[in-house]
Amino acid sequence: MKFFLLKTIAIAALVFVTHHTTNAQVNGFGGFADWTYRQGDTGVAASVEDNAITITTGTRQFRNVWLNDRQNIESFTASFRYQSEGSNTGMGASFIVHNDPDGANALSDGVGNGFGPPNLGFGGIDSSLGVLFALGNNRSASTGVLRDGRFGSGLTAIAPSASGDGFDVTVSYENARLSLLVDDGANTPFSQTLIVPDLAIALGSNEAYIGFGASAGNFAGTQPQRISNFRFQSGTVAIPEPSAGVAMLVLGSFVGCWRKRA
């Protein structure tokens, strides 16, 4: 299997390319030839294989990786595996759809002092929607959907754990509804359907950059975070309607509705 280490260039993009739009199916990372990696810290750079990236490698790190070509986001399904060798306060990652002015060179805005909420590689990414996963002590995890690189209430504790073998994530979107499924194969899967803004309106286009962010605070130690088996497909998807008895959930700069399904 091809394996190499990305060279560290602090607070600079490692790749600059001319971007155009494509609506093709994305199967894996493909050795990252078609991706841009961004690193805002001076730690050991991410390591990549053909179909996986160990995106953080130590403490006080914040990184992003974006597919160079924008994708159609009118309806889509994205799936991936997320895992960490440990679980400590200050660690986490996010799947992000965005039209930040910096495009594939967008970089999240740091991890603070390590004692507050981590930015999860999402903070400061403008014109965006992020599906976030924050890790805590004792292998705990929480998830939420937020907008425009802003944080607030809305992260929900989940049973699946990212430690060890990690968990599989499936995100589906169509007609201002977003479905999220998280499954580690051992604990009760977490599933919810959210009412969100129309992404084409909220992000200013029916096409957007897709990718990931991650951060590690003061307590992360040397417990790497890894993302693998990424798949993305534009096209019609089946998403359940929220039930009549929905609850209101603040999602960053907008309000959504959610239901949890068994």
Residue 253 — pLDDT band, cuts 50, 70, 90?
A: very low
Q: How far apart are CA 75 and CA 203, in angstroms?
A: 14
Supply the pLDDT for residue 99: 98
Query: How many domains are contained in the chain?
Result: 1
The residue segments making up the domain with residue 59 are 3-260
Which residues have CB under 8 Å from 258's CB, separation 6+? 192, 193, 194, 195, 242, 246, 247, 249
pLDDT tens, 218-229?
A: 765 567 899 999
Output the domain CATH number for residue 88. 2.60.120.200
Beta carbons within 10 angstroms of residue 189's beta carbon? 18
The confidence score (pLDDT) of residue 91 equals 83
pTM of the entire predicted model = 0.84
More confident residue, 161 or 22: 161
Tokens of 111: 């991890």
User: Looking at residues 127-142, what average pLDDT do you find?
Assistant: 87
257 vs 22, residue with greater confidence: 22
Closest C-alpha to 195, from 261, 248, 233, 150: 248
Show Cβ contacts of residue 102 under 8 Å, excluding neighbours closer than 6 positions: none
Q: Taking phi first (over 0 means left), then psi (-120 to 50 degrees means alpha), and beta for anything else, what does residue 185 get?
A: left
pLDDT of residue 259: 40
Strand pairing partners for 174? 75, 177
User: Which range among 166-170, 195-199, 214-218 shows the weakest confidence by mean pLDDT?
Assistant: 214-218
Mean pLDDT rounded to a whole number for the chain: 80
Q: Where are the alpha helices (DSSP H) in the chain?
A: 199-202
* CA-based nearest residue to 7, from 48, 59, 35: 48
